[in-house]
Amino acid sequence: MKEYLFSYGTLQKRNVQFTLFGRTFQGSADTLKEYKTASIEIKDESFLSKGEEKYQQTVIFSGDKNDFIQGTVFEITAEELILADKYEPGNYKRGKVVLESGKEAWIYIAVETT
């Protein structure tokens, strides 16, 4: 079963994709409206031990029609989605959004933004 994953950060990096999934993805540009990004400090040691940056971007729903996030939507398998779940920091959760293209996609959002 195919899944869509919208990435606005590290999962867009080809080296991260190859390390995590054993392949790189062909994605397409897309936009998430009424959201904005914010920088947060990651304290998840298992995530940081992979060489990732201590400060990462997360998304925040603003409801403002002028806010948007540009990123990439990837078609992945359900198994790859589980791998992505294991990769993300512990304070990130997965949720569904509707992109400008009309695609329903999974996205990772930090539970805490402070």
Domain 2-110 has CATH 3.40.710.10: no
For strand 35-41 and strand 55-61, is the pairing parallel, antiparallel, or unpaired? antiparallel
Cα–Cα distance measured from residue 12 to residue 57, given in angstroms and rounded to the nearest whole number: 13
pTM of the model: 0.81
For strand 2-7 and strand 28-33, is the pairing parallel, antiparallel, or unpaired? unpaired
The pLDDT tens digits along the chain (114 residues) read 799 999 988 889 899 899 999 999 999 999 999 999 887 776 766 665 665 666 667 778 899 999 999 999 999 999 999 999 988 877 788 999 999 999 999 998 887 644
91, 111 in Cβ contact below 8 A? yes
List the domain boundaries for the chain: 2-110
